[in-house]
Amino acid sequence: MATLCDVNQRITRTSSSVTGLAADPAPSLRYSVPLSATPRGARLARILAVEQLASWGLPFDPARLLVAELAANAVQHGRVAGRSFRLTLAVVPPATLRIEVTDTRGDRLPVRAPDPGGTLSESGHGLLLVAETADRWGVEGGPVPCKTVWAELDLGPDAGR
C-alpha cells in the first residue's frame, strides 16, 4: 500500500529548507522496502537488512543493531493502524551507509537525549544506543504525516567492493 511517506524517499530536509536529490550525492547502492508496523515487521527489517548488506559485501554490524532499534521504535512509537513503515538502506558517497526508517506518525518525534536528572526507566534507551553506535543520526519531518529517523555509518574506502 502506497502512502504519502513514499514521497519522502525523494526529499531530504535540511534545517528549514527542502532540497531534492539534485543537491545530494546519488546513492551508489539503494534498497527500500515497506514492512508491516508490527513486531514481526521489525524483525523482518533486521533480517532483510542483513541479507541486503551481505549481498553488497558490507559488514552487517553495527548496522543490524541500528536497523533493529529504529524499526522497533517505528513499531512501538510510530505505528498507525493499517499503515506500514519503510526501511531504506543506501550507500552514498564518499563511503557512508545511511539507514532510514520512515513511519506515519510525524507528530511523535523521538527525543534526542534523556531528561537531565531523570530516573532511568526499563525502556527508552534505544536512541541512546543509536547515538552511541551511529556516526550521525537525526530526524526529518514530512511530508505530512510522515517522519524519517535516520542513522549513518562511515564505511572504509573499499566498502562494498
Interatomic CA distance for residues 70 and 73, integer angstroms: 5
User: pLDDT digits over 81-103, tens only?
Assistant: 778 999 999 999 989 999 999 99
pTM listed for this prediction:
0.77
Name residue, grid cell 526501511.
Answer: 87
For residue range 38-66, list pLDDT tens digits in order.
999 999 999 999 999 999 999 999 999 99
DSSP code of 19? E
- Using the 8-state DSSP alphabet, how is residue 159 labeled? T
Q: CA 117 from chain center: how many Å?
A: 29
